[in-house]
Amino acid sequence: TSAQIGVTGLAVMGRNLARNFARNGYAVAVHNRTASRTRALLEEFGDEGEFIGAETAAEFVAALERPRRLVIMVKAGDPTDAVIEEFAPLLEDGDVIIDGGNAHFADTRRRERELRERGIHFVGTGISGGEEGALHGPSIMPGGSAESYASLGPLLEKISAKAADGAPCVTHVGPDGAGHFVKMVHNGIEYADMQLIAEAYQLLRDVAGYSPAQIAEVFRTWNTGRLDSYLIEITAEVLSHVDAATGKPFVDVVADQAEQKGTGRWTVQLALELGVPVSGIAEAVFARSLSGHTALREASRGLAGPTAQPLSGAEADAFADQVEQALYASKIVSYTQGFHEIAAGSAEYDWNIDLGAVAAIWRGGCIIRAAFLDRIRAAYDARPDLPSLLADETFATEIAEAQHDWRAVLGAAISQGVPTPGFAAALAYYDSLRADRLPAALTQGQRDYFGAHTYRRTDREGSFHTLWSEDRSEVQA
Ligand code: NDP
């Protein structure tokens, strides 16, 4: 027999992805650099479906039906190139290599180009959902050629998560690096979502005066409404967990230094290059890095500032309701910024990405999965050329209703000294976009003063310069 798909790299992700294919009725060839992992998979899970174990690259390739579909799930970076170099010489015209690792999209573009010249399709694929998702259905974001998707799509649709309406959480995102680009922005949005939730928690703790257990209940309630999402759900779980060793709330015994593996940073780096303001995502990345600066924090601990005076009773509960409004409004802004970055990447690299389809495949399987994404899908389906999510009438109306509470929450946070960089950045973005006039006019004046960088006028076409060090008359530049 021959296998319809192969997976090489059988650590947590690859092993579970291979099992997912097998459980869905596909014959799966499995391979790993260290053969003991392959044998362990066959021993433990061999009865879940049809596996063909391969000890060598040649055996692995020989086990695959043509055109071959070969999934690489190894450590991102140099190992991916090493594995490609090991297999590519054994492949034939029309075969498909799928990289499911967390590659940088620029690497994916390079690999796709190099392999295309050798007659091999390369499909850089974002996969979200972690270990559990890989096994039970992830959200899958494949790039690469349309031809490769024709051969690969049906298998991915089978193993992917399904949204509430039954639609598979996979779509052909676009050519070459489009899939990994979208996965990168997914992770950036994930950082922002997590930061906003963390700020909401801190406000409920310091300003509303709630305990972690009470806050867990608040999140459980929010999870039945418009904030319904995987991240809100697990937040309630983490907050209600009690540390067995000390009997204290788990959240109080964990070191408050957040780590990161780099995809949030990539999102911000790319946004800087594309000129897209993703201030909320950037603040989320910076908040994690600030938390890790222990010496800096130690040296700053004595700095002056107010101590939060917790509310109580009905006042505390009313404040909690306002925090829900602030969180929701800030979340809309994060997604607005993330989708703007996808639109900008799509324009820059000619990917022609369907933003509504991206929102649709994030409805299930991935870390940011949420009821909310169905509404983003609907907004883009109704108006594919929507310039910004904030221009959607439904979202604009919701923010209009939330903005009073959003401002009140930020007012309380600022006067009580509770840091809320994510909420604040989101509101500043909103107020900047809706402003009639921005102080950018003054910035232009300064640039012209010190560097003769010129400016445009509101009342006439052309570029102008003021002779600042002479008689301050204006000349056409
Ligand atoms: P790891 O990232 O820990 O990678 C381990 C695997 O890579 C092993 O199979 C290992 O083989 C193989 N490997 C490493 N170097 C080489 C090499 N030079 N040549 C051949 N094989 C090599 O595994 P994960 O399962 O955690 O992740 C796999 C990929 O999926 C990564 O790119 C990761 O970023 C991505 N990913 C991970 C998610 C997660 O939640 N963990 C979620 C989404 C994507 P050996 O056994 O021989 O050492």
Residue 131, token pair as written in the block: 């270990």
Residue 126 annotated as lining a ligand binding site: no
Binning pLDDT at 50, 70 and 90, where does residue 260 land?
Answer: very high
Confidence category of residue 135, pLDDT binned at 50, 70, 90? very high
Expressed in angstroms and rounded, the spacing between residue 104 Cα and the centre of ligand 1 is 15
Question: Is 397 marked within a binding site?
Answer: no
* Distance in angstroms (rounded) separating the CA atoms of residues 374 and 363: 7
Q: Whose CA is nearest to atom 42 of ligand 1?
A: 130
Query: Which residue's CA is the nearest one to ligand 1's atom 18?
Result: 79
CA distance 76 to 14: 13
Dist. CA 335–CA 363, nearest whole Å:
13
Summarize the confidence of residues 243-264 as an average pLDDT.
97
Centre of ligand 1 to C-alpha 75, Å, is 4
User: What share of the chain has pLDDT > 70, as a percent?
Assistant: 100
Q: Determine the pLDDT at residue 200.
A: 98
- 190 as an active site residue: the answer is yes
Provide the pLDDT for residue 141: 98
Q: Which atom of ligand 1 is nearest to the CA of 10?
A: 9
Longest CA pairwise span in the chain (Å): 88
Catalytic residue among 112, 190, 283, 324: 190
> Does the model's ipTM exceed the 0.90 cut?
yes
Residue 101 beta carbon below 6 angstroms from any ligand 1 atom? yes
327 is in an annotated binding site: no
How far, in Å, from the CA of 95 to the mean position of ligand 1? 22
Any catalytic annotation for residue 55? no
CA of 149 to the centre of ligand 1 (A): 24
In angstroms, what is the span from residue 11 Cα to ligand 1's centroid? 6
Query: Phi-psi region for residue 94, left (φ > 0), alpha (ψ -120 to 50) or beta?
Result: left
pLDDT of residue 52: 98
- Condensed to tens digits (0 to 9), the pLDDT of residues 52-84 reads 999 999 999 999 999 999 999 999 999 999 999
Q: Work out which ligand 1 atom sits closest to the CA atom of 33.
A: 47
State the distance from the centre of ligand 1 to the C-alpha of 30, rounded, in angstroms: 14
Count CA atoms closer than 13 A to 413's CA, side-chain side: 24
Which pairing describes strands 121-128 and 96-99: parallel, antiparallel, or unpaired?
parallel
Helix pair 421-434, 178-206: axis angle to 10 deg: 110
pLDDT value for 399: 98
Average pLDDT in the 151-165 region?
97
Report whether 411 belongs to an annotated binding site: no
Pocket test for ligand 1, best of 75, 132, 182, 184 (most atoms within 8 A of CB): 75
User: Is 282 marked as a binding-site residue?
Assistant: no
244 is in an annotated binding site: no
Whether the CA torsion 327, 328, 333, 338 is positive or negative: it is positive
pLDDT score, position 107: 98
Burial class (CB in 10 A: 0-12, 13-18, 19+), 30: buried
Whose tokens are 């998702």? That residue is: 133
CB of 75 sitting under 6 A from ligand 1:
yes
Mutate to test the pocket of ligand 1, among 74, 83, 127, 261 (most ligand atoms within 8 A of CB): 74
Residue 197 binned pLDDT confidence (cut-offs 50, 70, 90):
very high
* pLDDT value at 275 more than 80: yes
Q: Residue 43: what pLDDT?
A: 98
Indicate if ligand 1 lies below 6 Å from the C-beta of 33: yes
Name the residue at shortest CA distance from atom 35 of ligand 1: 101
Q: Does residue 82's CB lie within 6 angstroms of at least one atom of ligand 1?
A: yes
Residue 40 confidence class, pLDDT cut points 50, 70, 90: very high
| Mean pLDDT, residues 155-160 taken together | 98
E strand intervals along 242-313: none
Give the model's confidence band at 283: pLDDT under 50 very low, under 70 low, under 90 confident, else very high: very high
Q: Residue 3 — pLDDT band, cuts 50, 70, 90? A: very high
- For the stretch 360-409, pLDDT in tens is 999 999 999 998 999 999 999 999 999 999 999 999 999 999 999 999 99
Q: What is the pLDDT of residues 398-457, one digit of tens each?
A: 999 999 999 999 999 999 999 999 999 999 999 999 999 999 999 999 999 999 999 999
Element (H, E) at 139: strand 139-142
Taking the C-alpha atoms of residue 93 and residue 415, their distance in angstroms, rounded to an integer, is 66
CB under 8 Å to 458, separation ≥6 — which residues?
Answer: none
Was 9 annotated as part of a binding site? yes
- CA of 34 from ligand 1 middle (Å) equals 12
Output the pTM of the full model: 0.97
The pLDDT of residue 209 is 98
pLDDT over 80 (residue 1): no
Confidence label for 94 from pLDDT (cuts 50, 70 and 90): very high
Cβ of residue 12 lying under 6 Å from some atom of ligand 1: yes
Which atom of ligand 1 is least distant from the CA of 9? 9
Burial 103-116 (b: 16+ CB within 10 A, else e): bbbebbbbbbeebe
